[in-house]
């Protein structure tokens, strides 16, 4: 028998209360694990952005086009290593609800700028040779059961072909993986040339440019040079580092961080009250027993540690199970076809969760632990 055994026996003496308080903690950490993984995935889009990459969009806003002639002009700017232009295709597969993030890109420069897109040599060769080629991300391919060699009809909810059809036929020539586990593999890429030649309106315009600089140190200078190049033209540009662009893009939806923090905060406030109240009651019921332990010679500090240990153990047990369940939930969410980033519970999320569990245990246990510490033996025994 040890102090840990006593803590465990005290914790498990009322099974229903243990179940209910653990369940409350479990739910809180299920929410916490899932939401923070979601937040981490959103942040990863920003974090994984290359430091040496810029995004150049129409100054009015990024939905407005730019002339394709801009691409060669930008290529000529000192410090620019490579440029890829992109258009939003507005694609969907079979059903308008099944949206596919489709980008019509410059086939020759895509892989040079976005080095996190990983292909085999054969896939890369086929991508360059076939004008109807389409590169699909590993995640979206898995969701839809696509594989190399498949003929893929993709609809656009924006564009149409000269004959009025909104469906384009593509050949899947490659299923790309990401250089990092959190690299987005939910997108598909098609040749701009094929798209531009077949669409019925808006030809020779691009959506935006991805610009790779020779060094992140040159970013500021390159940004200024690009934007100066088109100043006072009908299509002025706004060039920003990719990180800033991604961040601003995410924040369009609202302050996601604040929303998620508020949800988590509300959940934890309720848990704090429930578990804290439970702990206070549990220790109050044991007043006489604490008095007996002190009478036998247990020092007050040791009893303080035991009570605090009990609330810590409760938080770690309930929280640990909740975190495990959120791992299952994340797996489930990743397997469901949805335009969501790949959720990953990384070591950072787990460490933060353990920190929150310990803080929860400390906050809910400190009041009853101090009460036990200060408890006078005579008073305690008289309550027995």
Report in angstroms how near the CB of residue 13 gets to other proteins at its nearest. Answer: 4
| Contact region with other proteins (CB under 8 A), list: 10-18, 152-160, 197-205, 352-360 | 10-18
Report in angstroms how near the CB of residue 295 gets to other proteins at its nearest. Answer: 5
Regarding 370 and contact with other proteins (CB under 8 A), the answer is: no
Nearest C-alpha neighbor of 334 from the set 103, 34, 26: 34
Regarding 293 and contact with other proteins (CB under 8 A), the answer is: yes
Q: Out of 193, 227, 298, 344, name the contact with other proteins by CB under 8 A.
A: 298
# of chain residues touching other proteins (CB under 8 A):
24
Question: Rounded to whole angstroms, how far apart are CA atoms 291 and 293?
Answer: 5
Question: Rounded to whole angstroms, how far apart are CA atoms 268 and 256?
Answer: 18
Regarding 299 and contact with other proteins (CB under 8 A), the answer is: yes
Regarding beta strands 133-137 and 167-178, do their DSSP bridges make them parallel or antiparallel, or are they unpaired?
parallel
Report in angstroms how near the CB of residue 138 gets to other proteins at its nearest. Answer: 53
Question: Rounded to whole angstroms, how far apart are CA atoms 137 and 118?
Answer: 10
| Contact region with other proteins (CB under 8 A), list: 2-10, 134-142, 250-258, 328-336 | 2-10
At residue 80, φ and ψ (nearest 5 deg) are: -90, 130
Question: Rounded to whole angstroms, how far apart are CA atoms 84 and 67?
Answer: 13
Strand segments, DSSP code E, in 151-201 are 151-156, 167-178, 187-191
For the chain, report the end-to-end CA distance as a whole number of angstroms. 25
Regarding 336 and contact with other proteins (CB under 8 A), the answer is: no
Regarding 295 and contact with other proteins (CB under 8 A), the answer is: yes
Question: Rounded to whole angstroms, how far apart are CA atoms 72 and 237?
Answer: 14
Regarding 294 and contact with other proteins (CB under 8 A), the answer is: yes
Report in angstroms how near the CB of residue 317 gets to other proteins at its nearest. Answer: 17
| Residues 259-288 within binding reach of other proteins (CB under 8 A) | 288
Residues contributing to the site for other proteins (CB under 8 A) = 1-3, 6, 9-10, 12-13, 288-289, 292-301, 377-378, 381, 384
């Amino acid at each position: 028998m040890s102090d840990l055994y006593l803590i465990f026996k005290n914790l498990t003496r009322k099974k229903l209360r243990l179940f209910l308080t653990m369940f409350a903690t479990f739910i809180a950490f299920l929410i916490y694990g899932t939401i923070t993984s979601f937040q981490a995935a959103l942040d990863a889009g920003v974090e994984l952005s290359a430091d040496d990459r810029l995004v150049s969009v129409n100054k009015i806003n990024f939905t407005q086009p730019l002339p394709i002639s801009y691409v060669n002009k930008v290529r000529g700017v000192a410090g620019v290593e490579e440029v890829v232009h992109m258009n939003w295709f507005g694609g969907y597969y079979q059903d308008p609800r099944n949206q596919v993030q489709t980008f019509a890109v410059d086939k020759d420069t895509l892989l040079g700028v976005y080095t996190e897109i990983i292909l085999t040599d054969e896939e890369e060769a086929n991508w360059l040779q076939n004008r109807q080629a389409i590169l699909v991300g590993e995640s979206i391919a898995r969701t839809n059961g696509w594989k190399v060699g498949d003929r893929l009809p993709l609809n656009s909810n924006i564009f149409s072909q000269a004959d009025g059809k909104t469906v384009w036929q593509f050949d899947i020539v490659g299923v790309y993986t990401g250089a990092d586990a959190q690299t987005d593999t939910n997108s598909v890429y098609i040749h701009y040339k094929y798209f531009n030649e077949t669409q019925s309106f808006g030809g020779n315009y691009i959506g935006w440019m991805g610009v790779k600089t020779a060094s992140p140190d040159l970013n500021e200078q390159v940004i200024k040079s690009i934007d100066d190049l088109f100043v006072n033209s009908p299509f002025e540009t706004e060039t920003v580092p990719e990180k800033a662009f991604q961040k601003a893009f995410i924040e369009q939806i609202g302050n996601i961080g604040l929303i998620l923090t508020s949800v988590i905060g509300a959940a934890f406030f309720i848990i704090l009250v429930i578990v804290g109240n439970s702990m206070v009651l549990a220790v109050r019921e044991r007043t006489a027993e604490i008095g007996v332990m002190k009478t036998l010679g247990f020092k007050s500090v040791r009893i303080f540690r035991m009570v605090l240990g009990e609330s810590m153990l409760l938080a770690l047990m309930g929280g640990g199970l909740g975190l495990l369940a959120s791992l299952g939930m994340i797996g489930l969410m990743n397997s469901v076809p949805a335009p969501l980033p790949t959720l990953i519970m990384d070591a950072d999320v787990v460490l933060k969760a353990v920190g929150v569990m310990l803080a929860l245990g400390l906050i809910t246990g400190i009041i009853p632990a101090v009460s036990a510490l200060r408890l006078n033996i005579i008073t305690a025994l008289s309550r027995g």
